[in-house]
């Protein structure tokens, strides 16, 4: 599966995120369906065991899931959540996407409202939960960042498109192109900006605009990062201009290909890795079963210790 899923160069993080999120889909795509499955597993007591379970179709799986878990947590259309923890003067702002299922105007209004709430609560610490944020609109990135700085900041340094496809070296193969939509230039902060301590939770599912957001915070040392390495590269990133997909004439297979790249920091810093957190917290299988949020708990303990 890893050899066939998209990823940034030799960084396998996003491929792992895709498998974690949609294992059933990829398993059936690669290996097909069967009437029964032999599961080999290791218990928490480190004992190897095997069981056989019958294969089921998706309708039966959904029915079983509804019986076991009758209450499903609804994700807001904005992808935004806010929780104030008064005991440690901390706000937790979840940003699950930069492509909300609502209008851009309402998304921005919600962001402004949340930062007013954070300010009115006399919050000293802000935790930004970017785990699983696979990206979206760079303009939304810019708008939220304007609430986190008290001086003008740079989001992207340059956008480049192919000039001479026969060249291999980046700067001779491409030329600069001005696309303000991707966040080129200096931007002024908002009036109701937050100037306290910022912590960013990231993982292998943090990608695209989620990494752009993280990259700017890292470039200005504006946040302490906790979690796991991101799936996307914080220095240079491929993207789209207008057209995002094509279709092969005979097989009708559709595919996507980046039509530009955006540079966010000094190319000499590019190690072919994602953004590596300051505090590496690896989730364990038992955390998924117990719904324990080891990453958030660690961050809150860190804040409590500083307090």
104-162 pLDDT tens trace: 999 999 999 999 999 999 999 999 999 999 999 999 999 999 999 999 999 999 999 99
Entry field: residues in the chain: 307
Please check whether residue 139 lies inside any domain of the structure.
yes
How many structural domains comprise the chain? 2
Query: Is 72's pLDDT higher than 70?
Result: no
Please check whether residue 3 lies inside any domain of the structure.
no
CATH number at residue 302: 3.90.226.10
* Residue 217 in tokens: 């915070």
DSSP 8-state code for residue 197: E
* Residue 114 in tokens: 């949340």
Do 147 and 261 belong together in one domain? Answer: yes
Euclidean distance between CA atoms 273 and 215, whole angstroms = 12
Do 129 and 233 belong together in one domain? Answer: yes
Do 62 and 210 belong together in one domain? Answer: no
pLDDT at residue number 283 = 78
Do 53 and 115 belong together in one domain? Answer: no
Euclidean distance between CA atoms 241 and 244, whole angstroms = 7
Contact 9, 238 (CB under 8 A): no
Q: Which of 46, 68, 90 is the last residue before a domain boundary?
A: 68
Do 170 and 222 belong together in one domain? Answer: yes
Euclidean distance between CA atoms 275 and 235, whole angstroms = 9
Do 26 and 84 belong together in one domain? Answer: no
Do 234 and 140 belong together in one domain? Answer: yes
Euclidean distance between CA atoms 233 and 208, whole angstroms = 8
Per the model's pLDDT, the better-predicted residue between 41 and 72 turns out to be 41
Q: Is 290 helix (H, G, I), strand (E, B) or coil?
A: helix
pLDDT at residue number 9 = 77
Range of the domain at 126: 80-306
Do 147 and 49 belong together in one domain? Answer: no
Please check whether residue 239 lies inside any domain of the structure.
yes
220-266 pLDDT tens trace: 999 999 999 999 999 999 888 777 888 999 999 998 888 889 999 99
Query: Is 73's pLDDT higher than 70?
Result: no
pLDDT at residue number 142 = 95
Do 58 and 170 belong together in one domain? Answer: no
Q: Which of 29, 45, 68 is the last residue before a domain boundary?
A: 68
């Amino acid at each position: 599966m890893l050899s066939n899923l998209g990823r940034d160069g030799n960084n396998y993080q996003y491929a792992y995120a895709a498998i974690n999120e949609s294992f059933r889909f990829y398993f059936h795509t690669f290996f097909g369906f069967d009437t029964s499955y032999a599961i080999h597993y290791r218990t928490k007591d480190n004992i190897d065991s095997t069981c056989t379970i019958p294969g089921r179709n998706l309708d039966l799986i959904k029915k079983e899931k509804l019986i076991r878990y009758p209450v499903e947590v609804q994700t807001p259309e904005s992808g935004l959540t806010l929780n104030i923890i008064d005991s440690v003067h901390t706000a937790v702002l979840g940003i699950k996407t930069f492509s909300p299922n609502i209008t851009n105007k309402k998304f921005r209004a919600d962001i402004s409202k949340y930062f007013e709430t954070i300010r009115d609560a006399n919050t000293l610490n802000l935790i930004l939960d970017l785990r699983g944020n696979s990206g979206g609109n760079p303009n939304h990135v810019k708008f939220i960042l304007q609430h986190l700085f008290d001086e003008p900041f740079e989001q992207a340094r340059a956008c480049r498109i192919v000039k001479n496809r026969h060249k291999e070296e980046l700067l001779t193969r491409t030329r600069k192109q001005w696309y303000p939509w991707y966040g080129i230039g200096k931007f002024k902060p908002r009036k109701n900006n937050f100037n306290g301590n910022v912590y960013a939770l990231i993982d292998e599912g943090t990608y695209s605009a989620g990494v752009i957001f993280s990259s700017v915070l890292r470039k200005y040392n504006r946040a302490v990062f906790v979690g796991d390495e991101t799936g996307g590269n914080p220095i240079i990133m491929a993207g789209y201009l207008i057209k995002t997909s094509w279709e092969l004439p005979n097989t009708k297979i559709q595919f996507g290909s980046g039509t530009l790249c955006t540079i966010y920091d000094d190319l000499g810093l590019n190690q072919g890795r994602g953004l590596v957190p300051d505090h590496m917290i690896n989730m364990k299988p038992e955390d998924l079963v117990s719904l324990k949020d080891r990453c958030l708990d660690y961050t809150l303990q860190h804040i409590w210790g500083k307090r």
